[in-house]
Structure 1
Amino acid sequence: MPSAEFDDATELVETYDFLLKFIIIGEAGTGKSCLLHHFTQNTFKQRSQHTIGVEFSSRTVKLGEKKIKLQLWDTAGQERFRSVTRSYYRGAAGALLVYDISSRDSFANLARWLADARALASPHLVAVLVGNKSDREDDREVEWDEASRWAAENGVHFLEVSSLTGENVEAPFLLAARSILLAIESGQLDPEKAGSGVSYGDRALRRVNSNSRLSFGSLSAPTRRANTSNRLGTLGGCGC
């Protein structure tokens, strides 16, 4: 008979229904690491330096009745790390394509980042365009309408967030996860297929079909928020 200590230990093991691999990509200084930190730690990263190579984090979220573990790869934006970071794109089910709304330059190279991701990641990659630093409305160089149009033309979702204030930071992760799970439910995406970026979790689900709905619940369409009266100033020297 198993010991009581063994039973207690097994209860501490995290269980989840699906494991999804995400990559976070974009130019250096757009606040990718700060966005990820706020999502996983629920706080602003006070001292942020440029990522060297790749950094890893994870978080388990719940969508409807399903527990989803997100495997999150934060990649460096500098050109000198490109050959290293691109190897981590393989098998990614989701991609957050981050730019800085106050930097036209960070928006200009989005097509290249997206092309690399689509060439190397899962054939069913779900991409979300994320306009970071929405708290810097007074310094805006990329209008919401322009970014929204670019996203529509390139077949990606679009949101604006602030990794400083925390506004909307969970939405791009949850939106991508929900889109992926809907693809599983419809049969478009097979978690058992190599390179899908998705795998069954500890609950070892056999299949998801019309007799076993995922029941995600609604995830309302994001809208632009430009409340400059409550805007927080940015910290000097931080890429957030």
Structure 2
Amino acid sequence: MSNSNNDYDTKIDYVFKVVLIGDSAVGKSQLLSRFARNEFTIDSKATIGVEFQTKTLILDHKVVKAQIWDTAGQERYRAVTSAYYRGAVGAILVYDMTKRQTFEHIANWLEELRGRADKNIMIMLIGNKSDLGSLRAVPIEDAQEFADKENLCFMETSALEATNVEAVFLTVLKEIYRIISKKSLAAKDIDYKAVSLKGTKLVVPGQESNSSGMIGGGCCA
């Protein structure tokens, strides 16, 4: 599934910024690690501030580089991470399905996101740690009802078992591409082309993996 990074470096068509949002310890970093590098670390440390990974893939014969930002869930970092919503075209709201409180906080995260991000941002709700089914504290019906009310896509995932992780990210990226390609996103200040990275002070980590092919369907298709 992986390809040489050099194959893509000179012909990136789009760069999409996606942010991971949710309480601390719900598994945001693990989801990103599983998608970007197919890794899972049992003793993962809490994210401090903001980190990001990139992954390059093909959507409709276009080369898309996903910049996926992992934001710290701790309250003391909220003022720092809120600035990183700017320019995001996708967001993944994550809760821990074994901890009801993390789900109840999703409404607050969503409110903050909608208050700071572009109004047309593509948002997906994720219930992580589905491998711990016996400890479930958030019924699927509750999450689906909330997602329907807020017009969000919804899936449950397991970063540990790699369940639905790739499907989540590809669904989000495919939907962003569909919107962008139809020129229906009314965000005049955001340049989605690869040149949008020019002049920034960001240093992309050297752990970049790639995948090709489109996901067929999805809750937003």
Q: Does TM, scored on the shorter chain, surpass 0.5?
A: yes
Q: Please, which of 25, 33, 36 is the counterpart of residue 40 of structure 1?
A: 36
In structure 1, the partner of 2:57 is: 61
* Number of residues of Structure 1 aligned to a counterpart in Structure 2: 198
**8 Å contact 1:91–1:120 — kept in the other structure?**
no
Answer yes or no: is 1:200 the counterpart of 2:196.
Answer: no
Cα deviation 1:165-222 (Å, max 9, x = unaligned) = 111111121111111111123221267x31x3x51137xxxxxxxxxxxx96622449
**8 Å contact 2:154–2:219 — kept in the other structure?**
no
In structure 2, the partner of 1:7 is: none
Letter in 2 for 1:103: K
CA gap of 1:190–1:160, structure 2 versus 1, over 3 A, is: same
SS in 2 for 1:170: helix
Letter in 1 for 2:100: R
CA distance in 2, matches of 1:77, 1:125: 20
In structure 2, the partner of 1:219 is: 217
Q: Please, which of 101, 104, 107 is the counterpart of residue 108 of structure 1?
A: 104
Q: Which is greater in Rg?
A: 1
Identify the range of structure 1 (16-25 vs 177-186) with the bigger mean alpha-carbon deviation.
Answer: 177-186
- CA-based RMSD of the aligned residues comes to 2.1
- What is the TM-score with the length of structure 1 in the denominator? 0.77
SS in 1 for 2:175: helix
TM-superposed CA distance for 1:139, in Å, is: 0.3
Q: Please, which of 147, 155, 158 is the counterpart of residue 154 of structure 2?
A: 158
In structure 2, the partner of 1:167 is: 163
CA gap of 1:62–1:45, structure 2 versus 1, over 3 A, is: farther
Gaps spanning 5+ residues in structure 2: where? 1-5, 196-212
CA distance in 2, matches of 1:184, 1:32: 26
SS in 2 for 1:173: helix
CA distance in 2, matches of 1:11, 1:137: 41
Gaps spanning 5+ residues in structure 1: where? 1-9, 203-214, 223-240
Answer yes or no: is 1:70 the counterpart of 2:63.
Answer: no
Letter in 1 for 2:193: Y
Letter in 1 for 2:48: I
Letter in 2 for 1:165: E
- What is the TM-score with the length of structure 2 in the denominator? 0.83
CA distance in 2, matches of 1:28, 1:57: 18
After the TM superposition, which parts of structure 1 deviate over 6 Å for at least 4 consecutive aligned residues?
A: none
